[in-house]
Amino acid sequence: MTDRLPQMLRSDARDNRDRVLAAARQLFSERGLDVPMREIARRAEVGPATLYRRFPTKQELVDEVFADELHACAGIVRAGCADPDPWRGLCTVIRDVAELNARNQGFVDAFASAYPGAVDVGAHRLDMLRSLAELTRRAQRAGALRADFVLDDLVLVFLAGRGLPATTPEVRLAAARRLAALAIEAFRASGTTGVLPAPARVIGAVLPR
């Protein structure tokens, strides 16, 4: 029993942290970064003391939420690249990143506006693009991804997803899923695939100079 008590306390602490981060992410996305800490505690169903014990300042909470977003994106890409079927892995990345963007856009935009340059997002994007470049090459070699696909095409889809209109979360999520499905069908190799215009080189626009 005495051995189980520390484990239970650690589990409770993790649950509280997860609830706080989920509540903060949702409120930041809905209303920006000016949400009071006490309101975050209420949404997370924890006491203010519990919130401040884990996150003594709002800045620490904001930073943790943003770091979680980057980890979530990296996890999606890693899982897709680890799939032995590269086309299935790529489709999973497109769907899951589209949904992640739909859910977190309000927060990420608010963070980038309030703290420009606070996090080396460029390095994160570069790592993700390197992984995705290898995944898409594998999908092309397997004959599943159209031969004239370039990585900039995938970036275009992600940029389009970030530009979905600010509407209800349900509508944004439905629109993101529709966009992902359309992109997957457009990328699929087919005997009836049409000719695309020249590629638009947009990767440079999302990486640091």
DSSP states of 139-156 as a string? HHHTT-B-TT--HHHHHH
Predicted local distance difference test score (pLDDT) of residue 172: 87
pLDDT of residue 4: 53
- Residue 82 tokens, joined: 């680890």
Q: Are 121 and 168 contacting, i.e. CB atoms less than 8 angstroms apart?
A: no
Q: According to the model, what pLDDT value does residue 192 have? A: 74
Query: What are the per-10-residue average pLDDT scores of the chain (209 residues)?
Result: 50 83 88 90 92 90 90 95 98 96 79 68 87 97 96 93 79 92 95 80 72
The DSSP H or E segment spanning 134 is helix 121-141
Q: What is the pLDDT of residue 164?
A: 79
C-beta pairs of 138-141 under 8 Å, 24+ apart in sequence = 138/86, 139/86, 139/87, 139/89, 139/90, 141/86
pLDDT at 30: 81
Domain boundaries, the chain: 85-206
Report the pLDDT value the prediction gives residue 117, as an integer from 0 to 100: 62
From the number of C-beta atoms within 10 Å of its C-beta (0-12, 13-18, 19+), residue 14 rates as exposed
Residue 193 has a pLDDT of 72
The pLDDT of residue 8 is: 45
